[in-house]
Amino acid sequence: MQKDTIKILINGIAILSMLAGAFGMCYCFLFLWSVKLEDLVGAGFPFVGGAILFGTGLITLAIFNKESN
């Protein structure tokens, strides 16, 4: 019972991390096409951070939900 609860909790946190990363990437995407250097740098770092959040959430889901053989 304890193992199932932890697995559900980790899956929920991974999905929330993916949603936060996707939201951050979508929010900053339009600013990446700006002519101003300040906008480009200000949007580039959060975009990379969102990509990292999304990627780590996806990896976590893959690791914790793989079938044991």
How far does the chain reach from its first CA to its final CA, in angstroms?
21
Contact indicator for 17, 53 with CB cutoff of 8 Å: yes
The predicted structure's pLDDT at residue 59:
95
pLDDT at residue 2, rounded to an integer: 83
Confirm if 30 and 4 have CB atoms less than 8 A apart.
Answer: no
Written as one letter, the residue type at 60 is T
Catalogue the E-assigned strands of 5-58: none
Amino acid 24: pLDDT: 93
The model's pTM is: 0.83
Which residues of the chain carry a pLDDT beneath 50? none
